[in-house]
Structure 1
Amino acid sequence: MTSTAVMSGQKLPFGQMLAAVLASGVQAVRGQFVFRTATWAGVLGASLQVVLVFLVWSAVYGARSEVSGIQQHDAITYAVLGALVAILFQPFVYDTMYGRLRTGAIAFDVMRPISAVPMTLAQQAGAAAAQLPAAGLGLVIGLLLGAIQPPGSAISAIAFTVSIVLGFAIAQLLNFVVGLAGFWTLEVSGAFHVYGMFAQFSSGALIPLWFMPGWLTDVLTALPFSSQVFVPLSIYIDQSPGKHTLTAIGIQLIWVLVLIVLAAMVWKRAIRRMVIFGG
């Protein structure tokens, strides 16, 4: 019996499905706080990261108020917020698919009346939500240090809120697709290490795309990674939002739709590779 046949079973009512998905997310939040030492280490690490980023970028600018057309306070705000956003975007739970694939437990995920896709995405969202205390404390420290300036304008703040949500969706969809590599390789830790480093660099979380060579900026801008961090933070510090802001958000929305289709296609191919109970 193949997974495709199993998936044709009866589905739960929408209300029950939603409750199950939310419960999965809550469970992921609680799971992140099981190891308290690791939790406190994460909080401390986030705080130190904010201080170090502030000191490094202040030293880079030195007495100069502008570099490559970017004001010092904008660059520091971008860098500190980029570090905090990376904390929320980077926790990966999809590598747990590796263990479930090796043990065969993934078969039960596919057989359930709720698709494993929203359940897995909910777990990832829960893991990210568990990082909010660390990111929140880092934000407070950044504000106290004067490292984080207010948004460029009220419109920028609203547009940033929309953009960061879309950026998070893009990050999670990409993470999900990478996690599905386990259906082919039965190993995802290596893929996640490579992907994590590439995503942080290409998204502009480490270095704003403004400071990269022109040809590299053009290449990275054409990829979905820049829509995760660079686009939202650029909107945040933008003093004059306008048509270009709507265009940037529109491109993010397009990436979300494209990645939803891609994730669905990869998931469909992934479960086709799996034969349940040796049938």
Structure 2
Amino acid sequence: MVVDSLLVRLIGLRGLFRAGYRSVLTYRADLLFGVLGLVIQVSLTVAVWRVLYADHDAVAGVGRSTAISYAVLAASIQAVIMPWQFSSLPQRIIRGQIGVDMMRPQSIISQNLVQAIGTMVGRLPIGAAAVIAGLVLGGVQPPSSLLDCVAWAASTTLGIANIMTINLLVSMSGFWTLEIGGVLILYRFATAFLSGALIPLWFMPSWLKPIISWLPFQAQIYAPLSIWFGTRKGVDILSTLALQFGWVIVLAFLLKVVWRRAIHKVVVLGG
């Protein structure tokens, strides 16, 4: 009986995963324009950073090739893990479909996280195209060592868990406000800045950098890429991974707390 119940749950989650990546691949024209748009962005990014570094070999101790490569990889990663529509939860709340979701054997949290993973997988071709464009333009450099590559993979995994948890936390605000379009726009731009996707923490003001370094957002893009480029070594890498893991635990706890309160705010408007 337990095995059958587990099998039903797994089949349901597999269906949600497929729905996630199919939601990206179904609209071929949108996917194509997404690829073209990001390739253009990467090309312009490489050109702009080369101009900024024209008369300098290094800025804040960071060389030109590292800065350019960081900008290209940050844009590529952000396009994959931070799409404009990163959760269907707000729309399902407005349409009243959340009532059906709550009757499924899987929890709302697992349903949305698995679907988000599927969406991320569906957007991998966009990020891959941007990385290829960066390689062609000479704007991507490999990790400094195999150990850094392994540490980067671990850090990236924790960063993805971090951003998916925060995304779902923000989406759950729809239980209280119903319409959260403005909140999502504000959150997206704030995350782009605080995660280091727009400006690496290397170039932040001295008074601001320590604050952002302790926030969960820097664990999403800056932390993995700082390991990729070898700016963190030894104990510093371990402390970075520990901080990322700590934030994942804290955010997972907050997610459960918010959900327990949100379940009492369910209002079926449609369906």
Partner of 2:14: 22
**2:90 paired with 1:98:** yes
Partner of 2:145: 153
Deviation string 1:119-170 (CA, Å, 9 cap, x unpaired) is 1111111111111111111111111221000101111111001101110110
Confirm or deny: 8 A CA contact 1:21 1:122 kept in the other structure.
yes
**SS across alignment from 1:128:** helix
Q: 1:239 to 1:211 in 2, by over 3 A?
A: closer
The structural deviation recorded for 1:69 is: 0.7
RMSD of equivalent CA atoms: 1.9
Partner of 2:156: 164
Moved more, 174-183 or 51-60: 51-60
**SS across alignment from 1:215:** coil
Partner of 2:229: 237
Residue identity opposite 1:182 in structure 2: G
Q: 1:11 to 1:263 in 2, by over 3 A?
A: farther
Return the TM-score normalized by structure 2: 0.94
The unaligned stretches of length 5 or more in structure 1 are 1-9
**Aligned 1:9-158 pairs, distance under 5 A:** 13-93=5-85, 96-158=88-150
Aligned with residue 248 of structure 1, among 237, 240, 244: 240
Residue identity opposite 1:152 in structure 2: S
Confirm or deny: 8 A CA contact 1:47 1:141 kept in the other structure.
yes
Distance in 1 (CA, whole Å) between partners of 2:22 and 2:238 is: 37
Distance in 2 (CA, whole Å) between partners of 1:188 and 1:95 is: 12
Confirm or deny: 8 A CA contact 1:24 1:122 kept in the other structure.
yes
Q: 1:247 to 1:238 in 2, by over 3 A?
A: same
Deviation string 1:47-93 (CA, Å, 9 cap, x unpaired) is 11111111111111113211111111111111110111110121154
**SS across alignment from 1:38:** helix
Residue identity opposite 2:63 in structure 1: Q
The structural deviation recorded for 1:208 is: 0.3
Q: Percent identity?
A: 35
The structural deviation recorded for 1:241 is: 2.3
Partner of 1:7: none
Residue identity opposite 2:213 in structure 1: T
**SS across alignment from 2:207:** helix
Residue identity opposite 1:15 in structure 2: L
The structural deviation recorded for 1:186 is: 0.4
Partner of 2:254: 262
The structural deviation recorded for 1:100 is: 2.0
Residue identity opposite 1:47 in structure 2: V
Q: 1:178 to 1:264 in 2, by over 3 A?
A: same
Confirm or deny: 8 A CA contact 1:92 1:124 kept in the other structure.
no
The unaligned stretches of length 5 or more in structure 2 are none
Confirm or deny: 8 A CA contact 1:170 1:255 kept in the other structure.
yes
Aligned with residue 195 of structure 1, among 174, 187, 190: 187
Distance in 1 (CA, whole Å) between partners of 2:24 and 2:194 is: 27
Deviation string 1:188-240 (CA, Å, 9 cap, x unpaired) is 21111000000000000000011010111111112100010110000000166
Confirm or deny: 8 A CA contact 2:169 2:255 kept in the other structure.
yes
Aligned with residue 197 of structure 2, among 205, 222, 226: 205
Confirm or deny: 8 A CA contact 1:156 1:238 kept in the other structure.
yes
Residue identity opposite 2:169 in structure 1: V
Distance in 1 (CA, whole Å) between partners of 2:139 and 2:267 is: 54
Partner of 1:179: 171
Confirm or deny: 8 A CA contact 2:95 2:268 kept in the other structure.
no
Aligned residue-pair number: 268
Q: 1:58 to 1:21 in 2, by over 3 A?
A: same
Return the TM-score normalized by structure 1: 0.91
Residue identity opposite 1:76 in structure 2: I
